[in-house]
């Protein structure tokens, strides 16, 4: 079954065409990555999938539901890690999870237990009572991951989940995401780390200037382009070299 189906997806911001007539589908249980340089349109595509904004034209279905017809139902079944941290800085780590759980009508007694379980999962239990302002950048990313899991989503949307994390924390987040995948959660992610895409993604779409240049498995892409790794493929297709 396709968890996401997009046909002719286009998004304009005023006169700027950020996403230009793209087609893709995402299968149940797979990890699908959007790769591409800054401004390629990755976050725009993700935001439309998680019903933050509607497409300008084209059709997008998530769980078979059109994003313009029942965004509330789609939102109740997905977890989102946005590119920008949007935690409530007035609240503690624990309170951030509890308040978020209310959006999903999770009962108070259940949300407390769930919040503590998730803090264990992301290794932040000892920070439960700490204010958000006193967390490191990496701790905030992990808390946002925990928050995205509070409604036990069937689809997780991860916009640069490990940007700014140190190598240890990055590996730890990869473990958590693989754990979700092994529970048959579908993952959609964007990343600028080709190692991350190779480790996690079953298929990737490489984007540039609002278009999809190619969609395939990392190993097929390497074979097709005679490349030794995904970074090489990326360089060949986008003309962009990653961090020197
Ligand atoms: N809210 C907005 N209003 C106007 N233009 C926008 C808005 N959001 C994004 N854009 C523009 O749309 C294009 C695509 O942006 P988007 O954020 O989707 O790219 P991205 O691939 O996620 O890039 P990055 O790797 O930097 O996160 C860019 O040209 C950007 O300037
Ligand atoms: Mg982005």
* Range 1-77+154-166+184-244 has CATH code 3.40.50.720: no
For 54-107, write each residue's pLDDT tens digit.
999 999 999 999 999 999 999 999 999 999 999 999 999 999 999 999 999 999
- Rounded to an integer, the average pLDDT of 9-25 is 98
- Tokens, residue 147: 């928050």
Residue 17 has pLDDT above 60, yes or no: yes
Question: pTM for the whole thing?
Answer: 0.95
Q: At what angle do helices 137-148 and 93-102 cross, to 10 degrees?
A: 30
- Tokens, residue 92: 């503690």
CA distances from 113 to 81, 94, 124 (A): 21, 11, 14
Give the domain ranges of the chain. 1-77+154-166+184-244, 84-152
User: How many angstroms does the Cα of residue 34 sit away from the middle of ligand 2?
Assistant: 10
Q: Whose CA is nearest to atom 9 of ligand 1?
A: 44
Ligand 1-lining residues (CB < 6 angstroms): 13, 16, 18, 36, 38-44, 83
Measured at the CA of 49, the angle between CA 191 and CA 138, to 5 degrees, comes to: 35
Q: Is 65 helix (H, G, I), strand (E, B) or coil?
A: strand
């Amino acid at each position: 079954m396709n968890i996401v189906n997009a046909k002719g997806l286009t998004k304009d911001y005023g006169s700027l065409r950020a996403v230009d007539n793209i087609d893709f589908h995402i299968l149940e249980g797979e990890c699908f990555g959007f790769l591409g340089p800054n401004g390629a349109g990755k976050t725009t595509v993700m935001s439309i999938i998680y019903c933050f904004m509607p497409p300008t034209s084209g059709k997008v279905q998530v769980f078979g539901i059109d994003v313009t017809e029942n965004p509330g139902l789609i939102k109740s079944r997905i977890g989102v890690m946005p590119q920008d941290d949007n935690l409530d800085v007035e609240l503690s780590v624990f309170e951030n999870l509890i308040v978020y759980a209310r959006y999903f009508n999770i009962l108070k007694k259940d949300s407390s237990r769930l919040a503590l379980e998730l803090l264990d999962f992301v290794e932040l239990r000892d920070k439960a009572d700490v204010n958000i302002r006193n967390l490191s950048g990496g701790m905030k990313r992990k808390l946002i991951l925990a928050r995205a899991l509070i409604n036990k989503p069937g689809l997780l949307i991860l916009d640069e989940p490990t940007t700014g994390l140190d190598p240890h924390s990055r590996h730890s987040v990869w473990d958590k995401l693989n754990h979700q995948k092994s529970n048959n959660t579908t993952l959609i992610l964007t990343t600028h780390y080709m190692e991350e895409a190779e480790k996690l993604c079953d298929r990737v779409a490489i984007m540039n200037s609002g278009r999809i240049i190619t969609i395939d498995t990392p190993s097929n892409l390497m074979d097709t382009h005679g490349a030794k790794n995904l970074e090489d493929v990326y360089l060949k297709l986008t003309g962009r070299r990653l961090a020197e």
